[in-house]
Each structure stands twice: as C-alpha cells, then as structure tokens.
Amino acid sequence: MEMLPMLIAIVDDDPAVRESLLDLLEVSGYSAVTFASARDFLASPRIPEMHCVLLDISMPGMSGVELYKELNRRQIVVPVVFMTGHAQDGLIDEAKRAGICLSKPFVGNQLRAAIEVAVK
C-alpha cells in the first residue's frame, strides 16, 4: 500500500509566503494546504487530517500563539512549527516555550528539519 505524503497546513496572512511555502513543501514531498488567517484554519474540516501546522506568529485578528492556545482549548492535538519575521518579543518567547520557532527567512533544510522534529 502506498503511503500518502504528510499533510502540512500553512497559516500565514502574507500570500507570497503562503505560495512560496506551498511550493517548497510540495517539492519536498509533502502535501500542503494554505490558510490566510487563524479563523480560516479553524473553519477547515481538514484539521483532523493535518500532520503539522506551519503557523505565523504575527497575524491580524487572531495571532499564531492565540490559535495555538485555541487548538489546545479545543483539545486538537497537532504539531506546530511557529514562524516569525517580525513578531513582538513576548509572542516569540511564548511561541518558543510552546515548541519550534523559525525566523523568516529560512531555507528549505531548516523547514524540513523543523517539521520532522515537530511530528516526532
């Protein structure tokens, strides 16, 4: 039986970041879906299929850290890799306490390594 690729969610308010990460993940052998906001992600019926979520820390509306807390509140267990380009120090510290945090820009090897660590 053929193994399906891991499904990775990309939650980032920047369309260029979503598109470049989507391309990078697909070239790396992952399957990926994108969401422009935390609210869009929470509305997705595909959350139970997710193997990992790449989550921008600073987004309008609900931040990545707030989304992480909401997933925990709903008892949705999915590995998260936080990403930041310019988050407030407090949010970065909170994200690092919750798990893996990559600083943008990062290279493909860093992203793949972070995903592999997160899903173990």
Render pLDDT for 44-69 as a digit per residue (tens, 0 to 9). 999 999 999 999 988 999 999 899 99
Question: Looking at residue 40, what is its pLDDT?
Answer: 97
**What's domain 7-119's architecture?**
3-Layer(aba) Sandwich (3.40)
Measured CA to CA, the distance from residue 61 to residue 70 in angstroms comes to: 13
Residue that the structure tokens 């979520």 belong to: 53
Bridge partners of 106?
Answer: none
| Alpha-carbon span 17 to 100, nearest angstrom | 18
On whether the CB atoms of residues 87 and 57 are closer than 8 A, the answer is yes
Question: Residue 18: its pLDDT value, please?
Answer: 96
Which among 86, 93, 80, 20 has a CA at the least distance from the CA of 50?
A: 80
Q: What is the pTM of this model?
A: 0.89
28 and 39 Cβ atoms separated by less than 8 Å: no
